[in-house]
Structure 1
Amino acid sequence: MTPYGPVLEKHQDLVVSDFLTRETKQWNIAALKEVFPLLVDTITLLKPSMTGRSDGVAWLGSRSGIYTTRPGYFAAAELEQQQMTTAQTPDWKKLIWTGRTSPKIKLFLWKITQGALPTGANLQRRGLLQHTTCVRCGEVETESHLFLHCEYVEKIWSASLFKDQVTLSTCSEFLEALKLGKIATCLPPVGVVSDVFPWICWFIWLARNQLIFD
């Protein structure tokens, strides 16, 4: 599946009714193609309500869907316990697979963290002698160098529109940068509300491949 980009700010508050036609209460294919171009066929398998019932909010912590303080308290306590556990032992798998990004980008991140991406260092370790150094600076092309420490990449991160200053070049490992990038907020006019760090890494990788193979 080809990734089609992170969620735009203008789309973040859309609800199901925004994708239905007013006259027939059926799917608005044009609207779906604009926001979910690769999921149109899957979404249209769902049959909208013929009565035109409005969207509602349900509390998943109870069978009735109505929020009460008792299940709310237990849910908050469970969340606090999970946060304490995460702070003590970072779950890198969860960090990757629960991110707000495309499935293909998640697989891309997984390959980086598992040493499965064909970087120069990984190719050299497997006995392949071509393209083992960074094509831009000649240094050993590890994951951390390619995405964090190369002079070319440092300029990309310094030009990125993050709300708070994010110094990714100080991270020694890619996983550290991934955790830091997950909390970075992208400023307007870019208008991206999901994790932008993985997408920048993706395009760094595409640019690297284009420089080598094209």
Structure 2
Amino acid sequence: MAAYKDSLLARIFKARYFAKADPFSATLGSRPSYAWRSIHSAQRLMRQGARVVIGNSHHNNVWQEQWVECKPARGVQKTNLSLGQNEGLVSSDMKVAELLIEGTREWNRLLLERLFPQDEVEQIEKIRPGGTLSDDVYGWEYTKTGLYNVKSDYWVQKNVLEGNIAQVQVSQLSIDSLYQAIWQTKTSSKIQHFLWKCLSNSLPTAENMTHRHIAKDASCPRCDSGPELENHLLFQCPYARFIWTLSPI
């Protein structure tokens, strides 16, 4: 569906399940069909290996889309500009095409160096855009051809995802020390209480409100691209990511 956006299947599923998002960030929704439930169950796996292959780059967001080459692919995560230095150079809906010299396939190196740290510039310059006559398409990172196949999918599942889960289970530490650190932090009691609620999953996020039968929609009210969990609210939401990117922290 990500590669063939104009197909009948993609148009039907988009209208029904992810009208304001994409297959990689769409929620399960209410009363999903068996087909969509099956597709959605593979969402995490597909996010691990899918990457936008840049063509004319007019529709891909610099911060949100998975276009920077690494495994898994990601958007740009850092910038040199603080909120006070923004000067209209960047925005939350900035497109990849704005980083190119107009009418060419060449990156605007002066702009890249002004906006991003050197490590991000080097990652971006490894990418060769297809040009104004080619569309952005999705490729699969774990095959030489860039085409998805079941064999590589199975390899990713067994060696990447399950391997990471096993490593986390072995190395995960108790969070008791984090609770202690919260109350020892020299700040206001209001901030301490907020941090405690974050760590305890007690914030009134849409997901929590839905779980308690107070609300019916668990999706993020700002971006509508996924359930509003605490991690999404504070770090993964495009608006939150944009603020962190511009933050001097």
TM-score of the superposed pair, with normalisation by structure 2: 0.34
Which one has the bigger helix percentage? 1
TM-score of the superposed pair, with normalisation by structure 1: 0.38
Larger Rg: 1
